[in-house]
């Protein structure tokens, strides 16, 4: 029998808030987090907007000396982990730290550091490159730092699967607990892609929205006038815990992680499979793992990137899996508010599913103005809806054809 895994802590830093309370307030009120980029000059860039973190100061979470040795994506991960651990009420001095692990991923890793250090190399030569360049840049340094800060000696590594990264981190963490490798896992992802090179790269592959005159309306999943996604940055972390362990320490339990599915499109390096087979099968696998039927799902937090093909094919897959039950299932893409946090998206959106269960509220898909007949789903347009929510699916699909679906349910004794 697999051990039961519950969520006992949550933390996130996002374009719509730096605490769970602020994030939820933004979500239920349809608050936009997309604005013109302020961090660098975008005059030569096609797309000029992103979901930047506002008012984030790493020294509120990390010693100043350590901040200088961390790339932005690591700062976001450490900050979100601190918030989640505080929320969980864990006292590590009373725990067996060999039974606590960390799996935190990043789709891209230290792009901020890479660009800065390459600039030094280009202008001044190799001797001026920081000796911290490599450990600041590599994706696995985020879970490394979290384990070092808290002395956690259980399973520890990073996942990297583009936009499915943190969904894989959470899924692998759930499995680590289910099969006895750990009792507690710190799981999630972080991303800091809003850099000149990051923006140029996504621009040149024609992936980003060019709605610069209305940045607040640029991210518009499932809308007929969508023209690309909007980059976001931040981090999201969940504390996952074996049920009996959580009970013994009197932890508050937000929800239960019950199902996961992984598939590959095996189709194209960036485009989703036109048949939607990977997206279809990943949701079916998650339902089977959770022991649920399509009729049991109340809410789907869609991958919903606001690109033409992703939204069309995800819609096709959802209709194929849920069929006649679609009228009873609420769907939304919160990327309409946060932008696309890439490797952090799955973690932040798993938190959204957990909050939706807690509050019995479906967050909206904002900027939905013109229905697309190819995306004819109940996408909760523009305004949050109250609804009893007992079971949710969070979808994450990444470049390379990586698909992950997570099922989070209301905890029941």
Q: What is the per-residue pLDDT across 88-113, written as a single tens digit (0 to 9) for each?
A: 999 999 999 999 999 999 999 999 99
Active-site option among 45, 340, 353, 402 = 340
**What local confidence, expressed as pLDDT, does residue 111 receive?**
97
Q: Taking residues 20-48, what's their average pLDDT?
A: 98
CATH fold of the domain at 5-248: Peroxisomal Thiolase; Chain A, domain 1 (3.40.47)
Domain ranges of the chain: 5-248, 261-405
**What local confidence, expressed as pLDDT, does residue 413 receive?**
86
Known catalytic membership, residue 303: yes
**What local confidence, expressed as pLDDT, does residue 207 receive?**
97
User: Does the structural domain 261-405 have CATH classification 3.40.47.10?
Assistant: yes
State pTM to two decimals.
0.97
Known catalytic membership, residue 402: no
**What local confidence, expressed as pLDDT, does residue 94 receive?**
97
| Confidence label for 354 from pLDDT (cuts 50, 70 and 90) | very high
Cα separation, 160 vs 354, whole angstroms: 23
Contact 397, 314 (CB under 8 A): yes
Active-site option among 163, 245, 375, 402 = 163
Cα separation, 367 vs 372, whole angstroms: 13
Q: What is the per-residue pLDDT across 257-271, written as a single tens digit (0 to 9) for each?
A: 999 999 999 999 999
Helix (H, G, I), strand (E, B) or coil at 410: coil
Cα separation, 236 vs 185, whole angstroms: 14
**What local confidence, expressed as pLDDT, does residue 16 receive?**
98
Q: What is the per-residue pLDDT across 294-318, written as a single tens digit (0 to 9) for each?
A: 999 999 999 999 999 999 999 999 9
Q: What is the per-residue pLDDT across 314-353, written as a single tens digit (0 to 9) for each?
A: 999 999 999 999 999 999 999 999 999 999 999 999 999 9
Known catalytic membership, residue 268: no
Contact 368, 381 (CB under 8 A): yes
Active-site option among 45, 168, 245, 303 = 303
**What local confidence, expressed as pLDDT, does residue 284 receive?**
98
């Amino acid at each position: 029998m697999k051990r039961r895994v519950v969520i006992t802590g949550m933390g996130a830093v996002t374009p719509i808030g730096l605490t769970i309370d602020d994030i939820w307030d933004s979500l239920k009120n349809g608050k936009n987090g997309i604005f013109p980029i302020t961090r660098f000059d975008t005059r030569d860039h096609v797309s000029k907007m992103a979901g930047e973190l506002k008012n984030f100061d790493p020294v509120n979470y990390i010693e100043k000396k350590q901040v200088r040795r961390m790339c932005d994506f690591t700062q976001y991960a450490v900050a979100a982990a601190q918030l989640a651990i505080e929320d969980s009420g864990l006292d590590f001095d009373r725990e067996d730290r060999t039974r606590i692990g960390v799996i935190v991923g990043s789709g891209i890793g230290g792009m901020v550091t890479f660009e800065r250090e390459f600039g030094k190399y280009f202008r001044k030569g190799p001797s001026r490159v920081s000796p911290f360049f490599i450990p600041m840049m590599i994706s696995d340094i985020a879970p490394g730092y979290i384990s070092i800060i808290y002395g956690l000696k259980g399973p520890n590594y990073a996942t990297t699967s583009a936009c499915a990264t943190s969904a894989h981190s959470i899924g692998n963490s759930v499995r680590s607990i289910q099969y006895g490798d750990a009792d507690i896992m710190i799981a999630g992802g972080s991303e800091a892609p809003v850099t000149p090179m990051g923006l140029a790269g996504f621009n040149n592959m024609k992936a980003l929205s060019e709605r610069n005159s209305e940045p607040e309306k640029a991210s518009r999943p499932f809308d007929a006038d969508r023209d690309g996604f909007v980059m976001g940055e931040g981090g999201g972390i969940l504390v996952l815990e074996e049920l009996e362990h959580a009970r013994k320490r009197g932890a508050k339990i937000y929800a239960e992680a019950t199902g996961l599915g992984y598939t590959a499109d095996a189709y194209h390096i960036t485009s989703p499979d036109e048949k939607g087979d990977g997206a279809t099968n990943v949701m079916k696998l998650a339902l089977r793992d959770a022991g649920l039927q399509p009729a049991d799902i109340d809410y789907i937090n869609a991958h919903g990137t606001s690109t033409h093909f992703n939204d069309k094919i995800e819609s096709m897959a959802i209709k194929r899996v849920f069929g006649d039950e679609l009228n009873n299932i609420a769907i939304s893409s919160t990327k309409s508010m946060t932008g696309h946090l890439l490797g952090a998206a799955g973690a932040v959106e798993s938190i959204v599913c957990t909050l939706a269960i807690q509050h019995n509220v479906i967050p909206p898909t904002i900027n939905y103005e013109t229905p697309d007949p190819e995306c004819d789903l109940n996408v909760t347009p523009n305004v949050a809806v109250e609804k009893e929510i007992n079971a949710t699916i969070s979808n994450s699909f990444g470049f390379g054809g990586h698909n992950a679906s997570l099922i989070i349910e209301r905890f029941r004794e």
